[in-house]
Amino acid sequence: MTIVSIEPATPDRWNDLERMFGPTGAYGHCWCAFFRRRAKDYTESVSCAPPERGRTNKETLRRITLDGRIPGLIAYDGAEPCGWVAVSPRSEFVRLTRSRALRPVDPDESGVWSVVCFWLPPRGRRKGLGTRLLDAAIEYARAEGGRVLEAYPVDTAGGRAPSAEVYTGTVRMFRKAGFTCGAHPVSGRPVARLDLKEA
């Protein structure tokens, strides 16, 4: 795999994103909408019978992309899309703004961005692509005026876990990228933060 570029998911790249996620929308008809929809709406979308399963999740991502709001970045192997990272201002993730377990730790939410999801096809795993996507997300958030980049990784204690369980990234991965990882003051869940103005 030769990564040629990592690009913002602009409207003209929607077909690439749709093709890369495939008919099941990456992780179980998610279409990277888990953090972008209310819990009830998301659950209804993934629970209904085919062919409607995941349709409203897909439509959520499609609408955001075609509106030009840039839901994340796409990695390309030649002309083929081969990896994804969701990165946007924290305020765009409905699940985060309504969550008790991940309520903001910063009293000033202006300029706080979040990385909430990675997706790599099987052939692209364990080859450093996730790290390259994270590096690109850092630079993108900084270039767009982000003040802090926040993430909600899984602590695997240095071991391995199935990809579907670590789609938010791992504590080890974020620490290697310079993030400070601590426990959320309410839930105790890992939260990784990087000051984009100092990094």
CATH of the domain at 73: 3.40.630.30
In this prediction, residues 162-169 reach a mean pLDDT of: 76
In this prediction, residues 160-170 reach a mean pLDDT of: 75
In this prediction, residues 143-169 reach a mean pLDDT of: 83
Residue 185 has pLDDT above 70, yes or no: yes
Pairing mode, strands 148-151 and 180-183: unpaired
Q: Identify residue 142 by its one-letter amino acid code.
A: R
The number of folded domains in the chain is 1
Residue numbers of the domain that contains 156:
3-195
Name the phi and psi angles at 190, rounded to 5.
-65, 135
Pairing mode, strands 148-151 and 190-195: antiparallel
